[in-house]
Amino acid sequence: MPLAPNGLKEEPIGASSDSVELSTWTESEVMRVPPYYSNVPNDPEVHHVFSDCLVGQRIPFPRRRSGTNGHPLCDECAAMPFL
């Protein structure tokens, strides 16, 4: 696996053996944002719409692209009751 400029291993989003648990949120803790997705080829082909989405937060800002790119909503964003 290639090393990132900071010397750490670079893994595609969702490729880690650590699974991301879906979170329990309250409406005051969640902020809806314009849709975005990862431009990394090995990352899951999903988009995100909440600032507190743990999967979306793992995408570094330089790798985020605006819009949905035709990808479905990620499971964590879809599980939030504030859609």
HEC string of 28-56 equals: HHCCEEEEEEECCCCCCCCEEEECCCHHH
Q: Residue 16's pLDDT band (boundaries 50, 70, 90)? A: very low
Residue 48 has pLDDT above 90, yes or no: yes
CA distances, 53 to each of 1, 28, 41, 64 (Å): 26, 14, 20, 14
Task: Parse the chain into domains and list their residue ranges.
Answer: 29-79
Residue 60 has pLDDT above 80, yes or no: yes
Residue 7 has pLDDT above 90, yes or no: no
pLDDT at 80: 84
pLDDT at 28: 53
